[in-house]
A = this chain, B = another copy of it.
Amino acid sequence: MNWQSYLEQNQERFDEELLDFLRIPSVSTAPERAEDVRKAAEWVRRRLRAAGVPFLELIDTPRHPVVFGRWVTDERKPTLLLYGHYDVQPVEPLDLWESPPFEPTLRDGLLYARGSSDMKANMLTLIQAIEAIAKTSGQLPVNLLILFEGEEEIGSPNLPAVVRQRRDQLKADVALSADGGMQGRETPSLCVGLKGLTGCQIDVRTGTTDLHSGSYGAAVPNAVQVLIQLAATFHKPDGTVAVEGFYDDVRPLTDKEKGSIAAIPVDEGGYQHEAGVLGLWGEPGYSLLERRWTRPTVDFNGIWGGYQGQGAKTVTPCQAHGKITCRLVPGQTPERVMELLKRHIERHTPPFAEVTVDPLKGSANPYLLDTDAPVLAVAAAALAEVFGHEPRFVRSGGTVPITEVFRQELGIDTVTLGFSLPGSRNHAPNEWFDPSFLPDARSVFATYLTKLGSS
């Protein structure tokens, strides 16, 4: 039997076990979910064992474990380092979910669950492809190293140290990150660029207690107002970031980059509809794709302070809080941008308030692969074989922190290959994966492994 037939014969079982994986609420940011995150790690380890991976280890970190695997079949063959993450984003606001986030639900042909698109379906189909080849040919066409982490959604704070400590065990020719997507069902694509990330929580304090807004409001500072005035200085009215020096290190797009982005057809109305927003927005002077793929941002992820219950409470709040993250592009570094942010905040803090900046635990450098890089050719060929035409090179506005770490620590490039579709609501309520895409995902991964072995 060849791997193609094996995949066909086991399709029902393979689809079923995705539901089991999705039922584990592996929310890495929530301390009370720590046990569930470990459960997911153990689920993944068992699944890799069942696929035939001979050496497996849970590497403990200060927070969530890394699933490490090794399968050396022939030292003359190329070695591939597989990357993925088994953790998921938080589910709040829960009331916007149409079905419970950890009860996978099929609705109108889409499978709804937190982590379905980001990235449990991608990880599992990769494991299933490995199993199909291993069970039908007795061995793999490549040597495998596996690093599946549980902290990607909190910025991979511990994986870089693991990579540094295990450099000798992680010698590979190329890395494959399954944390990616396709441009469309009929539009295979390869992601060559990812944005970097940094961010912080901002805590404003103006006093020791909330006060009566009548007795005090006209005479003492209001922490919510201080935060509003401070936060309003981060952007100009047109949407440009107003933090001094923020754009200084941004490497301008080359004419070639501009041209290749401009050549990609964009349906702005379709994008707006799919995003469910009342209008498009962003930095003037850049096209929609340029903004999404190549322009850095300062994003407000959350804000809170004062009375938030029903009705009114006439109070002058003494505390207010905001969460922001920045997406970074080539030329920028998280350290430098955080420094600029801190300086900006310091400069805009009034004398009657205390502002504390608590930087994110994880951060990431931006990542960009040259489209001529040889490591892309094998992946492109695998996509072309399954889909019948050449893939498009694209970038993502998202962040996979480890790609740049692999480059710096191991000296290897990372090919990103995944099957999430646009609009699949990663990080948002009602995240979905299109299950009719699962067989193609398995075929592409198996084809890629086979082609890499004979490359």
Binding site for B on A (CB under 8 A): 29-31, 89-90, 92-93, 96, 154-155, 195, 197, 199, 205-222, 224-225, 227-229, 231-232, 235, 237, 271-272, 275-283, 288, 291-292, 295, 297, 299-318, 320-323, 325, 327, 351-354, 360-362, 396-399, 422, 425-430
Contacts and interface: CB of A to CB of B under 8 A. Distances in A.
A209 B297 contact: no
A219 B278 contact: no
A428 B352 CA distance: 20
Can you tell how many copies of this chain the complex includes? 2
Contact of A426 (B154, B215, B281, B282): B215
A301 B224 CA distance: 8
Contacts of A320: 303
Contacts of A207: 275-278
The 4 nearest A-B residue pairs measured at CB:
A279-B352, A302-B306, A232-B232, A214-B398
Contacts of A225: 231, 235, 300
A209 B325 contact: no
A214 B401 CA distance: 13
B218 A327 contact: yes
B30 A310 contact: yes
A301 B309 contact: no
A300 B224 CA distance: 6
Most B CB contacts (10 A, CB to CB) among A297, A308, A313, A353 go to A313
Given A29-B309, A219-B271, 13 more contacts: A207-B278, A209-B429, A214-B398, A217-B299, A217-B397, A218-B282, A218-B397, A220-B272, A224-B322, A228-B300, A229-B232, A278-B352, A312-B323
Contact of A302 (B229, B317, B354, B398): B317
Given A231-B228, A303-B303, A327-B213, A278 B312 contact: no
Contacts of A224: 300-303, 322
B428 A315 contact: yes
A321 B308 CA distance: 8
Contacts of A327: 213-214, 217-218
Contacts of A306: 300-303, 323
A279 B216 CA distance: 12
Contacts of A31: 310
Given A209-B425, A301-B213, A323 B307 contact: yes
A282 B213 CA distance: 13
Most B CB contacts (10 A, CB to CB) among A208, A219, A288 go to A219
A88 to B, nearest CB: 11
Most B CB contacts (10 A, CB to CB) among A199, A222, A396 go to A222
Nearest to A422: B215
A369 B339 CA distance: 56
Given A302-B313, A308-B302, A220 B275 contact: yes
A213 B214 CA distance: 39
A288 to B, nearest CB: 6
B213 A325 contact: yes
A237 B318 CA distance: 19
Contact of A90 (B272, B278, B307): B307
A314 B197 contact: yes
A360 B213 CA distance: 15
Given A277-B221, A427-B313, A215 B300 contact: no
